[in-house]
Amino acid sequence: YTLTLSCTFQYLAATMKFPSSTLLLATAAAFVRAHSDADTASVSSSELREKFDEWMAKYNKVYSAKEEREHRFQIWRDTERLIENHNSQEPSPTFSLGHNAYSDLTLDEFHEHFSMDTAYRPNSEVTMPQDEPQQAVDPAASMNFVSEELYERAVARRVQDLPDSVDWVASGDVTNVKDQGPCGSCWAFSSVGAVESAKSISDGELVDLSPQHVMDCDNHQIDNGCYGGNMMTAFHFVKRNEGICTWSDYPYEAVNHDECGNSSCANVAGSNIGGFTVVETKSPSALMSALVRQPATVAIDASSEYFKSYKSGVFSGPCNTRLNHGVLAVGYGTDADAGADYWLVKNSWGTGWGDNGYVKMARSDKEGVDGT
């Protein structure tokens, strides 16, 4: 298999017990773009030091010793060079880079911060109970959870009736961007975010639900709090538990607890799900069709230095097929400035990363897109 313009897609759907059937998808997506070096803009050492001091103040960085500060400056300077080289390319890239709170971390430290080696456990490693689906199906044909009317509408959308763009953030059905901190809990944030949005679309009430509840109480063998998990198994927990608690009742702490605090809070009405199913791969239109109905859980490769420093635009940077980070797709569209189609994705690294916590990832159906 040879990668060309895009990497891997994998779709997952979950059905919710709401008045109108809803759908949760998980997809794996990442994208490849060649990087051409450009000369770093000439900046004096004193100017760089001043810029580093400003960055430290902005992100409240304090180092314990002079040697540590110098070490972090050298790493930050390498990040600065990467940003300048990338942003000064001609023609202009489809996305820009910028500094964030992780600019003083090496790539290995960045991976360790989010436990990327274990944070996302792929579906291929998951053994689900017998009552859950084990194979890919066409979401429009999943008649166990969609009505005849919704089936016909889904088919029509897949073929010819998909809108040019979808944005669940603009509609007010996506909670604020969160920060998972130094913890590999992306899988819990992704799955909980999908439930939050599905509930909001169904009953009009947007509520911050608790990733920590899922982390502490989901006892599937593959889910291990800050050490990683899988969105399918998180959905199974929500279904089995008949919902989850609010963030305020079960606050996020970015740690693993020895015991489940389930008894200390009440599940939010409407936060239960009826099930989930893996849906058709190798088809961006399948994901688009689902996103017309609600946000979707997504697994991506977030390991590159370009993704680490992403700031704005349509990300089409280097990637590989090893999925290591769970996020939430909240729409799609076309960026007029970049002249590129994209998926709109909500991350869980705080609003200081990316475009206020979001990233537009290149959307393509060209050769090179495949399922995993």
Provide the pLDDT for residue 210: 97
Active site residue 325: yes
Catalytic hit among 183, 186, 217, 245: 186
DSSP E strands in the chain: the ranges are 8-9, 11-16, 26-29, 95-97, 166-167, 273-279, 296-300, 310-315, 325-335, 340-346, 358-362, 370-371
Provide the pLDDT for residue 361: 95
Predicted TM-score (pTM) of this structure? 0.81
Distance CA 271, CA 238 (A): 8
Provide the pLDDT for residue 122: 60
Provide the pLDDT for residue 255: 95
Catalytic hit among 123, 224, 267, 347: 347
Burial of 103 (0-12, 13-18, 19+ CB in 10 A): buried
Provide the pLDDT for residue 129: 59
Provide the pLDDT for residue 136: 41
Active site residue 245: no
Domains of the chain: 10-32+115-309+320-336+345-362 (3.90.70.10)
Provide the pLDDT for residue 223: 83
Provide the pLDDT for residue 156: 54
Provide the pLDDT for residue 371: 25
H-state helical runs in 144-230 = 148-156, 186-203, 211-217
Tokens of 316: 């089409």
Active site residue 99: no
Provide the pLDDT for residue 6: 37
Catalytic hit among 86, 213, 220, 325: 325
Q: For each successive 10 residues of the chain (372 residues), what is the average pLDDT?
A: 32 42 35 36 80 97 96 98 96 96 96 80 60 45 43 53 94 98 95 96 96 92 86 91 96 93 89 75 79 90 94 88 89 94 97 98 58 23
Provide the pLDDT for residue 28: 35
- What are φ and ψ of residue 235, in 5° steps? -60, -40
